[in-house]
Structure 1
Amino acid sequence: MGNTYAISEIVGTSEKSVEDAIESGIATASKSLRNLDWFEVSNVRGHLSDGKVAHYQVTLRIGFRYETSGS
């Protein structure tokens, strides 16, 4: 029998980088969601200040596996 997944959409943020925003979002989601198996970046945007990137915002779709009986 195959796995069944639910998908949650979150936005990770960082002042450092896109990668840091992704890792921050996943780290926060993993505190309340179990069985995280994959992620997909669906959008990247940011905040500008004085003509420079001040903040990265990355929209993530995170897939987490439903538990089956006995898991």
Structure 2
Amino acid sequence: MSVLKVIELLASSTVSWEDAAHKAIAKASKSVKNIRSVYIKDQSAAVVEGKISEYRATLKVTFELE
């Protein structure tokens, strides 16, 4: 029987929402093992002088407990 846990991560990037998600998973995988899936819950951006300065993503990450 598998037991899965879901955690929520927040990440940001100056490049894109996709890059923010990649960074979040790369960082989480250093301490969280058995990551199975990721769900992009929300996306937002910071705006400075009429231009996007930072992309932000909220992710739900599912992993299997050992």
| Structure 2: distance between partners of 1:27 and 1:51 | 30
User: Whose Rg is larger?
Assistant: 1
Post-superposition Cα deviations, 1:4-51, rounded to whole Å, max 9, x if no partner, equal 110110011100001100000111111110000100010101100111
In structure 2, stretches of 5+ residues that fail to align are none
SS in structure 2 opposite 1:60?
Answer: strand
TM-score, normalised by the number of residues in structure 2: 0.95
Query: Aligned partner of 1:19: which letter?
Result: E
Calculate the TM-score normalised by the size of structure 1: 0.88
Who is 1:54 aligned against? 53
Contact between 1:12 and 1:26, CA under 8 Å: does it hold in 2? Answer: no
| Paired position in structure 2 for 1:16 | 15
Runs of 4+ in structure 1 off by over 4 angstroms are: none
More strand, by proportion: 2
